A and B are shown apart, each in its own frame.
Chain A
Amino acid sequence: MHAETADFRSIVEAHQDRVLNICYKFLHNREDAEDTAQEVFMEVFRSHAQFRGEAELSTWIHRIAVTKSLDLIRKRKRKKRLGSVKSIISIGEGRVEPTGPPTYRPDTAVEDEEYRQILYRAIDRLPETQKIALTLSRIEGFSYKETAAIMETSLGSVESLVFRAKKNLRTSLSRTFSGRID
Chain B
Amino acid sequence: MSEEDRIKERVEKTMRLMETEERLKADPWFFTRLQARISARNAELLSPVRQGGRWRPVVLAALAGVNITIAALWTFGNAETRHKETAMAYLARDYGLTGEAGDWLYNTIGE
User: Does more than half of chain A's interface fall in helix, strand or loop, or is it mixed?
Assistant: helix
| Residues in A neighbouring B25, C-beta threshold 8 A | 17, 20
Report if B72 contacts A (CB, 8 A). no
A5 to chain B, nearest CB (A): 11
Residues of A within 8 A of B (CB): 3-4, 9, 12-13, 16-17, 20-21, 24-25, 30, 33-34, 37-38, 41-42, 45, 112, 115-116, 118-119, 122, 134, 138-139, 166, 169-170, 173-174, 177-178
Quick one: given A116-B17, A139-B18, are A45 and B11 in contact (CB under 8 Å)?
Answer: no
Select one of A3, A21, A38 contacting B39, CB under 8 A. Answer: A3
Report if B14 contacts A (CB, 8 A). yes
Alpha-carbon gap, A169 to B17, bound state (A): 13
**Contact assessment for B18 and A119 in the assembled complex, using a CB-CB cutoff below 8 Å:** yes
| Residues in A neighbouring B10, C-beta threshold 8 A | 115, 173, 177
Quick one: given A13-B31, A17-B26, are A173 and B37 in contact (CB under 8 Å)?
Answer: no
Alpha-carbon gap, A45 to B7, bound state (A): 48
Jot down 12 A-B pairs with beta carbons below 8 A, ordered by A. A3-B38, A3-B42, A4-B35, A17-B24, A17-B26, A25-B21, A33-B24, A34-B26, A37-B30, A119-B14, A166-B15, A177-B10
Report if B41 contacts A (CB, 8 A). yes
Residue of A nearest to B7 (CB): A177
| Residues in B neighbouring A119, C-beta threshold 8 A | 14-15, 17-18
How many residues of chain B are within 8 Å of chain A by beta carbon?
Answer: 28
**Contact assessment for B17 and A20 in the assembled complex, using a CB-CB cutoff below 8 Å:** no
**Contact assessment for B11 and A174 in the assembled complex, using a CB-CB cutoff below 8 Å:** yes
B19 to chain A, nearest CB (A): 7
Residues of B within 8 A of A (CB): 3, 7-8, 10-11, 13-15, 17-19, 21-27, 30-31, 33-35, 37-39, 41-42
B29 to chain A, nearest CB (A): 10
| Residues in B neighbouring A16, C-beta threshold 8 A | 26, 30-31
**Contact assessment for A41 and B34 in the assembled complex, using a CB-CB cutoff below 8 Å:** yes
Alpha-carbon gap, A9 to B7, bound state (A): 49
Residue of B nearest to A9 (CB): B31
Residue of A nearest to B33 (CB): A38
| Residues in A neighbouring B24, C-beta threshold 8 A | 17, 20-21, 24, 30, 33
Interface centre among B13, B25, B26, B38, by most chain A C-beta atoms within 10 angstroms, is B26
